[in-house]
Structure 1
Amino acid sequence: MEYVNFDAQVGDLSGVLDPSRYLSYLPSISGHLPPGARAFATDADHYDFRSRRCVKDLTLRAVRSAGGEEMEVEFQHNCWKHDEDLLIRYAGVSSFTVDPVDKSRGTDLGAVILDEILPHGDGCSHEIACWDGTLTIVCRDLQATWTDTVCSSES
């Protein structure tokens, strides 16, 4: 990640997750993001840790090719925090990289820590940091959709 700080210091506490540098930078780049990416990145709930629509703590459930340069990434809720799942559809995918901490895990990257969406020559880059690796997608644009879910002991 270029702007999100995973090891910030707050008083005597270190190792604090801090997206403030990215959030300060976002207004200057939002006009350079494609419309769907801009809407998702600038949503007030996206980086609000108390929000049910904050991406933090979602779990990567599936990565699917939707044909050609289309891709879908599905995230599952955590019942203690979210009441919706998140599906992101990527159009015009020019690059897709999974970087797991342990290569044997494939796309099993664990829970989301945070993400960054930045302008790119092909549209935008979306880097998603998880506890067990990183997923990076470069695309023309993306569309994020939150869908209702039911929490159960199986979730």
Structure 2
Amino acid sequence: MQYVDLDAQVGDLSGVLDPARYLSHLPSISGDLPPGARAFATDAEHYDFSSRRCVKDLTLRAVRGAGGDELMVEFQHNCWKHDRDLLIRYAGVSSFSVDSADEERATDLGAVILDEILPHTDGCSHEIACWDGTLTIVCPDLQATWTETACSTES
């Protein structure tokens, strides 16, 4: 895999992770996103903090396939907010990075703060900011699926 300088690719939106600014630009960039990324990014519930399908406060459960061109990122619900888990599949991954303060705990990044999906020359870039680090994936497209789950006091 090759490192991609996202700031050089997508301009001043990359790395900002400012929800108001991103949402104000989303309508103008959504047409440049691949179909799966566009559907996920423009879902009305995605950035509605009171929605059960808002990514905020999900917890990273697992990253599968790192180092290959197929990647799955699994997020676990929080019972007080969500009633489903989230699975995102990325095919044709050209870049994957984890920016974590503690490299030994690279998949223990804490809860999601927010994410941005931006057009990229390779399709799209998906930056997911968590309390303790950030995941960035570049790929031709992604598929996000909310899956049934059962809440318990142990979740």
Q: Does 1:147 find its partner at 2:125?
A: no
Q: Which deviations, in whole Å up to 9, do the C-alpha atoms of 1:64-90 show, x marking residues without a partner?
A: 018951110000000000000000000
CA–CA separation in structure 1 for the residues paired with 2:67 and 2:86: 20
CA–CA separation in structure 2 for the residues paired with 1:147 and 1:119: 26
Which residue of 1 is the match for residue 98 of structure 2? 98
Which residue of 2 is the match for residue 52 of structure 1? 52
Percent identity for Structure 1 against Structure 2: 82
Which residue of 2 is the match for residue 113 of structure 1? 113
Q: Does 1:82 find its partner at 2:82?
A: yes
SS at match of 2:27: helix
Q: Which deviations, in whole Å up to 9, do the C-alpha atoms of 1:104-141 show, x marking residues without a partner?
A: 31221010000000001100000000000000000010
Which residue of 2 is the match for residue 37 of structure 1? 37
Point out which structure has higher relative CO (alpha carbons under 8 A, 6+ apart). Answer: 2
SS at match of 1:27: helix
- How many pairs were matched up? 142
Which residue of 1 is the match for residue 7 of structure 2? none
CA–CA separation in structure 2 for the residues paired with 1:78 and 1:101: 23
Which residue of 1 is the match for residue 11 of structure 2? none
Which residue of 1 is the match for residue 70 of structure 2? 70
Cα distance change, pair 31–139 in 1 and its aligned pair in 2 (3 A): same
SS at match of 1:62: strand
Structure (1/2) with the larger helix percentage: 2
Which residue of 2 is the match for residue 4 of structure 1? 17
- What letter corresponds to residue 84 of structure 1 in structure 2? R
Shift in Å at residue 101 of structure 1? 1.8
Stretches (4+) displaced over 4 A = none
CA–CA separation in structure 2 for the residues paired with 1:51 and 1:115: 15
- What letter corresponds to residue 82 of structure 1 in structure 2? H
TM-score w.r.t. structure 2 length? Answer: 0.87
Give 5+ residue unaligned stretches, structure 1: 6-18
Structure (1/2) with the larger strand percentage: 1
- What letter corresponds to residue 34 of structure 1 in structure 2? P
CA contact (8 A) 2:17 2:129 kept: no
Cα distance change, pair 103–2 in 1 and its aligned pair in 2 (3 A): closer
CA–CA separation in structure 2 for the residues paired with 1:67 and 1:4: 25
